[in-house]
Structure 1
């Protein structure tokens, strides 16, 4: 049985949590393979609404084993706060497994993240200030602290000492902040060891053995394609690999086991933080999308920037990830517009670009070229088949599909688990 990846196809916040949850009851493992608690998923089940930040969405499916892979960076305080919150609401979290090779976010990296962003001023990147970037930098600089290091205090202490030799100097001499003591950091990390130990294993082995047994493994990406550190709108990106290639490196599953890539894409476009955004709206239409779509970050609470659907980005995401199926979310938010534009290409200095411009400056100056489709006014939130949608809503989906490089297999018409139209089965 192959593995399946769920990937954000825009700048994040597309509704990956709902898509993962939709499949969660039919899969055996759900794996978070990148990022940390710098992005969240909202999952609505019946009258219950769950906001997840670090945990895989599969933790809400009783028959599923949720896994935090080696590509994730883990804030242990956030981890246990989330677990306690779910336990208090009656969710069984005992099946969670965490990679021994995942990196830990120490408190000095949270401090560095915040002061560095303030120091950048107008050149800020829009980081969440949760220590994600500095922890990934430590990983690449080979001074990071992994989950497995917490089970050998002598190794942990040596690693913290080595990291603080550098980080302490930066905090005190560059940013005029107090550098933490080694004992302080070691104590913070060791406080979680006893509770953490039963959850930790070789998750790469666990997942590969599951595939050999013909079990279904679902790989859930944090952030999205346009935030990928290699393929996103650099430098306004996250610090990890959020594409389907990152699903393999962040989980330990080989690429030849990845058989299906599901791209999650909104019926319009949003992004949080800084960086270029060709279809961004600054008018009443943008305010309407923000209000009706409740466009505020699950983790940060920051307002999301809103714009029309961008098929150039969709085609790019389809190509980079090898998308086999799109899940189009929040179609209901577009109800009530006389016309609904779709960006079909860009104009840059008088030149038309049907694909993503090759350099950052051109993308920053890209002007969207729109195709205008007639809107609809009917309430579509109760539609459960494609044929029940108004003709103009169907035409919008079909045109978006033609332009986007892969079939649209699922359409979301509301926030709840069952507010979904399945055009083609994903499993």
Structure 2
């Protein structure tokens, strides 16, 4: 089983690389997160953002798995399937999708709880997508949640109604505006009925049997390393483990089965929402790169914060994941710049710091830069590594040496096929 992860704060272009390597796999499996993730793929002239469906859904030879580590909003999943079916009726999505019976459900009230906490002065503002993902995971840990397999039990409807009613009463007392209870419950239960039409099974057994038969499996990570609930810039993180080792837990696969671990990063840096961002570019240049790189959230459309590449953060992420191959995206966005900076280390309390601190007050870090000459080329004509501009090639060689991992692929444009092999 190979694993693919993001190495920054998300939005690295993981979907595009997964789309490129999908033909090499028979199974693509999501192992964490929920509909707060958004993997963008260009397919047959359409720009598609997948939130819950694995990125192998466009290939007829691939079985797509939503693993037990994912939290599923049935309404959003059904909407995503319906929207894709309208565009590509030939996909037969239901025939190529398996859902873990152990995955947890996101309830309608999880979303409203998220909205309340993000807007209330009583709670810390994180900058979530307000999809209720954190509350679903919290209920999972409290053993108060519902798993997908529970929907087939005779008392599921009454039990879930009781919980949703209780949460409605609680949120109403807090002053949160809510839609009509019966309407919300009706929509949720109708989508549960639609969910029953999909293949819900023991995906751990399916994946392990497939591996035993020699079938190649790709584990698809959502969000990114620096957003990991344990190892990221807490509390400004996501609600699940995003590192490569989480694939084994989220899919029920032994670490002994892991092969390649792909790490995707941008040629610069972005993050969405609140939280420390040492290499952030403030002002006109950041605004220009945001527009040029179309750096707006695939789910929320929020403008992403822009920064230069941060080597200590990347070295930390590569260490945590055990990366075997690096994939760099959006090198074309930096095309035409006179200078490209890289953060090599920081200064904190008068001392030089070469490791990324995730516990100290990161906002007090002063980045130290290494400047590179920019590159200027017609990227539409580049078809191989040998045709890269000299300055970009130098930049890549430096990164490869500092990060101590091979850079095997480079994305040079937004188009689906604008990605070249470097090795």
| TM-score (ref. length: structure 1) | 0.93
Write out aligned runs for 1:271-420 (5 A): 271-357=271-357, 359-361=359-361, 363-420=362-419
Report the counterpart of residue 84 of structure 2 in structure 1: 86
Write out aligned runs for 1:1-400 (5 A): 3-90=1-88, 91-94=91-94, 95-120=96-121, 123-158=124-159, 160-162=161-163, 164-165=165-166, 167-175=167-175, 177=177, 185=185, 188-357=188-357, 359-361=359-361, 363-400=362-399
The unaligned stretches of length 5 or more in structure 2 are none
Residues 319 and 405 in structure 1, CA contact (< 8 A), matched pair in contact too: no
> Which moved further from structure 2: 48-57 or 290-299?
48-57
Equivalent position SS for 2:47: strand
The Cα RMSD (Å) is: 2.0
Residues 272 and 297 in structure 1, CA contact (< 8 A), matched pair in contact too: yes
CA 1:121–1:331: 2 relative to 1, 3 Å: farther
Deviation at 1:158, TM superposition (A): 2.8
> Which moved further from structure 2: 130-139 or 176-185?
176-185
Deviation at 1:274, TM superposition (A): 0.3
Deviations 1:133-161, CA, capped at 9 Å, x for gaps: 11110000100011111111314533553
Equivalent position SS for 1:337: coil
Deviation at 1:164, TM superposition (A): 4.9
Equivalent position SS for 2:261: strand
Distance in 1 between the 2:165 and 2:121 partners?
22
Deviation at 1:358, TM superposition (A): 5.0
Deviation at 1:64, TM superposition (A): 1.0
| TM-score (ref. length: structure 2) | 0.94
Distance in 2 between the 1:258 and 1:376 partners?
37
Distance in 2 between the 1:199 and 1:186 partners?
23
Residues 5 and 247 in structure 1, CA contact (< 8 A), matched pair in contact too: yes
The unaligned stretches of length 5 or more in structure 1 are none
Distance in 2 between the 1:378 and 1:348 partners?
38
Distance in 2 between the 1:77 and 1:155 partners?
17
Deviation at 1:321, TM superposition (A): 0.7
Deviations 1:342-398, CA, capped at 9 Å, x for gaps: 11111112211111125231x221111110111111122432211100100100111
Number of equivalenced pairs: 420
Distance in 1 between the 2:338 and 2:46 partners?
34
Distance in 2 between the 1:204 and 1:254 partners?
10
Equivalent position SS for 1:411: strand
Distance in 2 between the 1:355 and 1:119 partners?
35
> Which moved further from structure 2: 156-165 or 306-315?
156-165
Deviation at 1:209, TM superposition (A): 0.7
Deviation at 1:196, TM superposition (A): 2.9
